Homo-oligomer: A and B are copies of this chain.
């Protein structure tokens, strides 16, 4: 707690730095038991003690203040006190991506979560070199990033699907930005500006290919779709993870929630 808070300038409500996602319902007066791993994390890694405060969110009930009611080796109970923020969700932006090697995939999931993607859709393409995706690992990385970045929900991690099947089942109202290094493409900022801020409330998706790029036949198929537009990201050949992050950042800044500010914390 900072001096400001100790001196009561901002009122008595504690402003905990630790945030945890939980599946459980959240409302005032409930007592919540944590699993072994998280109890261990609070007690042995963060060295929190009985009476310490933290924040909880579950993607439905907003963010809640909770107090450690009791903890010991491998267990912890939390008393849920008061809502700190009502539930809110970001724009409905999917990231559809060809899986890449593990360290880069971990990073991509972390960044896409921080940058506010609503869903992460791994996709198999002709040149995709990675054949297995550990969805549990993706979910764990997404959860950790969501806890850290003040999101009130987790991105949905969707099962792996083939590009063709994805497109066959594509909801036509969901606009699709395809990032491509070769072939015809329009600059991303120009496309997003022309789409206009009124389309930000619509569902959108950003699609990036594997390290080897899309096959020509895949790009041709994508170019034929009424809901898709192929965009370029400048003169350098970007790695798959860089392209995804750059496109998401541009989308959020131009069409998404780039005008909003983070919630106030101690010292702000």
Which residues of A pack against B, CB within 8 Å? 90, 107, 110-111, 114-116, 148-151, 181-183, 185, 187-190, 216, 232-239, 242, 245-247, 249-250, 252-254, 256-265, 267-268
Instruction: Determine whether the beta carbon of B236 is less than 8 Å from that of A187.
Output: no
Q: Work out how many copies of this chain go into the complex.
A: 2
Q: Per a CB cutoff under 8 Å, which of B242, B252, B256 touches A114?
A: B242
State whether A236 and B185 are in contact (beta carbons under 8 Å apart), knowing that A246-B253, A249-B246 are contacts in the complex: no
* 7 pairs, A vs B, C-beta closer than 8 Å: A149-B237, A182-B265, A188-B253, A189-B254, A234-B253, A235-B260, A242-B245
A254 CB to nearest chain B CB (Å): 5
B residues in contact with A249, CB < 8 Å: 233, 245-247, 249-250
Tell whether, in the assembled complex, residue B236 and residue A262 are in contact, meaning their CB atoms are under 8 Å apart. Answer: yes
How far, in whole Å, are A264 and B252 apart by their CA atoms in the complex? 30
Task: A115-B234, A149-B236 are known; give 18 further A-B pairs, CB within 8 A.
Answer: A115-B246, A116-B236, A148-B239, A149-B238, A150-B235, A182-B265, A188-B258, A189-B254, A216-B267, A232-B259, A233-B253, A234-B256, A235-B260, A245-B245, A245-B246, A246-B249, A247-B249, A250-B254
Among A110, A236, A257, A260, max chain B CB count under 10 A is at A236
CA distance A137 to B110 in the complex (A): 24
Known: A237-B262, A239-B114. A253 touches B250 (CB 8 A): yes
Given contacts A235-B150, A235-B262, A268-B182, contact A242 B111 (CB under 8 A): yes
Complex alpha-carbon distance, A116 and B115, angstroms? 21
CA distance A107 to B108 in the complex (A): 11
Q: B151, B216, B234: which contacts A258 (Cβ < 8 A)?
A: B234
Q: Inside 8 A of A257's CB, which chain B residues have their CB? A: 234-235
Residues of B within 8 A of A254 (CB): 189, 250, 253-254
Taken together as a complex, chains A and B put the C-alpha atoms of A148 and B238 apart, in Å, by: 8
Residue of B nearest to A239 (CB): B114
Enumerate chain B residues within 8 angstroms of A261, measured Cβ to Cβ.
Answer: 185, 232, 234-235
Which residue on B lies nearest to A185, using beta carbons? B261
List B contacts of A187 (CB < 8 A): 253, 258-259
